[in-house]
Structure 1
Amino acid sequence: MTKKVLLVTGAGRGLGVDIAKAALAAGYAVVATGRNPENVEKAVGVAGDLLTVRLDITDPASVRAAVDAAVARFGRIDVLVNNAGNFYAGYFENISPEQFRAQMETNFFGPLNVTRAVLPVMRAQRGGQVITITSAAGLIGREFCAAYAASKFALEGWMESLRFDLEPYGISTMAVEPGFFRTELLVEGSSTIWPELEIEDYAGRTAATIEAWKGMNGQQGGDPAKLARALVTLSSSGELPPRFVAGADVMAGVEQNLDAIRGQVEAHRELSASLSYDEA
C-alpha cells in the first residue's frame, strides 16, 4: 500500500461522510467506520480503496476489531480522524446523571478508545496523525451545553497533552474546533438528545431554547464539505497545527473569549501575584 490510509469514525452521516469522500478524492485509502456499515457504504459509496467496517466507539472490542480489519486490508493507518459524537443538550440540572455520563462516554471516552487502539500501529510505523473533532464548545462554554461543553473541553485538554506523548514517535496531533456547520448534529433523534428531567424554574427557558435549536438546523453557515477538504489539505501538508479553529463564527467567538480572559487576568493581577510565599 503506497497510499496514505485514513480511518474516520462516524462516517454514516454528517461530517464523517464528507471527510471520507474528500480523502478518497485526494488519493487516500479510506477506512470509513460507523455503528452500521451498511449505512456507511450507502452514504460514502463504493471504491477500490475504501473499506467500510463496523465500529462503535463506546465498545473497545468493536474498536479493536475495526482497527485489525483496517490493518489486515491496508497494512497501516496513517491518519485517524476522531469524528463520531453526539449532543446531550440542556441545562445542567435537567440533564440526568445517566445522560451526562452517556455524553462523556461517547464524546470523550469514545475517541480515547479509538486512539488507544490505533496508536500501537502508528508507533510501530514511527509516524501518523491523530485528528480529533472537538467543537467551539470545547473552548467557549455556552447556555444549554453543560454536558456537551464538558465533554469537548475534556477532549481539548487530552489532545493538548497527548501531542507531547507522541512527538518522539513521529506522530502529530490536531484538535479541530468547528463553529456551526450544516451537519446532522442538531437533528432530533439522530445526534441531539433533549434533557430527561423537568424542573419548573427551567421549563420556560428550556422550551424556548429547544425551539431555537430546532430552528437552527439546516440554517448553519458552515459548509461541511469545505471543512472536510480543509482537513484533508492540512493532513496532506505534513505539518499539522496543534489546533484548527474552523469557521468565521468560531474565530470571532474565540477572539472575543481570549479578550475576556485577558480582562479577567488584569482585573486581579496584583492579588494573583501576591500569592507566593514570603521568603525570609
Structure 2
Amino acid sequence: MNVVVSGGGRGFGRTIARRFAALDATVVVTARDLAAAQRTRDELPGAHALRCDLTDPASVRQCADQVGELLGHVDVLVNNGAGFLAQSQADDDAIVRTILSGTAGTVLMTENFLPLLRRSERPDVVTIVSLEAESRSDPAHVAHAAFHAAKAGQGRYVEIMSQRLRPEGIRMISLYPPDFDNDDNAPRDGVLTAQSVADCVVFAVNQPRDCFIRSFHFEPMS
C-alpha cells in the first residue's frame, strides 16, 4: 500500500503512520511543520516526509504533486490533520485557521489526491472526524464552537463524497471517536486509545472491495 497521512507529525497521525508502516506500507507523512513530519518519517522504514499546510491551497496542491512524483499512485489517504481550538484560545485568526484546517483542509486534500487515488486498485479515503461533529457531543466540552463546526462540515463533506465516489470504487470511511488517549503505549483498560482507533482504520481498509463501511460511530466514554 501507498499511504498518505496528514497531520502525521504527532498524536494519532503518528500512530496511524506507524501502524501502516508495520504492515509494510510505503508511508508519506505530511504536516505543516516539516520537522515534525521528518521526526515521524525517521521512525519508519522507507517513509517520506512532506510539508503540507491544510489552510493553504497552493501547499496542498504542491504536496499532491510531490506525492505523485514519489509514488505514482495513492491507495489510502488519511485525512487526520485538523487544528484543535479550545474556548480559552479563541481569537479571530485562530477561529479561521480552525475552520480552514478542519473543513477546507479535508476538502482540499481529498480533491487534490483524487487523481492519484483513481490510479489505485484499492482506493480508500479515511477521515478522522470527531464525536464533537454530532448533536450528541458534550456541550461542556472544552473545544470552541468553531471546532465543532469545522468537524461537522468535515463530516458532511465525507458523507456527500461517499455517495458520489462509490460508483468509482473509491471508499470514503469516516471515524467519529470521542476524546481518546493518544499515547502509543497507553494500556487498553477500557479507555479508548489511539491504537484501538488505528485498529478500526486498518480493519476498514482491508475489507473486500464490495464492503463499504462508511463510518465508525463510537459511544462516548461517559
Q: TM-score range by the shorter chain?
A: 0.7 to 0.9
Q: More helix per residue: 1 or 2?
A: 1
Determine if the alignment matches structure 1 residue 224 to structure 2 residue 194: yes
- CA positional deviation for 1:57: 1.2
Using the alignment, how far apart are the partners of 1:45 and 1:64 within structure 2?
Answer: 24
Given the alignment of the two structures, is residue 244 of structure 1 paired with residue 216 of structure 2, yes or no? Answer: yes
- Residues 112 and 46 of structure 1: is their aligned pair in 2 closer, same or farther, counting only changes over 3 Å? same
Once the two structures are superposed, the pairs formed by residues 136-151 of structure 1 within 5 Å of their partners are: 136-139=131-134, 140-141=136-137, 142-143=139-140, 144-145=142-143, 146-151=145-150
Opposite residue 182 of structure 1, the aligned amino acid is: D
Q: Deviations over 1:60-81 (max 9, x none)?
A: 2221222222221222101110
Q: Which residue of 1 aligns with 2:53?
A: 56
> Does the 8 Å contact 2:15/2:195 carry over to 1?
yes
- Per the alignment, residue 270 of structure 1 pairs with none
The AA in structure 2 aligned to 1:58 is T
* Conservation of the 8 A alpha-carbon contact between 2:18 and 2:44: no
Given that 1:126 and 1:169 are in contact with CA atoms closer than 8 Å, whether structure 2 keeps it comes out as no
Query: What is the aligned partner in structure 2 of residue 101 from structure 1?
Result: 96
Indicate if the aligned counterparts of 1:18 and 1:228 stay in contact, CA closer than 8 A: yes
- Give the match's secondary structure for 2:77: strand
2:19 maps to amino acid? A
Task: Choose 1 or 2 for highest CA Rg.
Answer: 1
Answering whether residue 20 of structure 2 is matched by residue 23 of structure 1, we say yes
Q: Which amino acid aligns with 1:110?
A: G
**Structure 2: which 5+ runs fail to align?**
184-189
**Residue matched to 1:118:** 113
Query: Is the 8 Å Cα contact of residues 4 and 28 (structure 2) preserved in structure 1?
Result: yes
Tell me the TM-score normalized by structure 1: 0.68
Other structure's SS at 1:249 match: coil
Deviations 1:1-20 (A, max 9, x none): xxx11100001100000100
SS at match of 2:217: strand
Identity of aligned residues (%): 26
Corresponding residue number in structure 1 for 2:86: 89
Structure 1 position 95, deviation (Å): 4.3
Q: 1:39 to 1:96 in 2, by over 3 A?
A: closer
1:96: how far off?
Answer: 4.0
Aligned length: 210
Shift of residue 98, structure 1, vs aligned partner: 3.6
- 2:2·2:27 contact (CA, 8 Å) conserved in 1? yes
Alpha-carbon distance in 2 for matches of 1:90, 1:51: 35
Greater alpha carbon shift after TM alignment, 39-48 vs 144-153: 39-48
Q: Does 1:13 align with 2:19?
A: no
- Root-mean-square deviation (CA), in Å? 2.3
Deviation track 1:229-262 (CA, whole Å, cap 9, x = no partner) reads 331222122434111124x536x7xxxxxxxxxx
Unmatched 5+ residue regions in structure 1? Answer: 185-219, 253-280
C-alpha contact 2:72 2:116 (8 A) present in aligned 1: no
Equivalences for residues 1-280 of structure 1 within 5 A: 4-90=1-87, 95-125=90-120, 128-139=123-134, 140-141=136-137, 142-143=139-140, 144-145=142-143, 146-183=145-182, 221-238=191-208, 239-246=211-218, 248-249=219-220
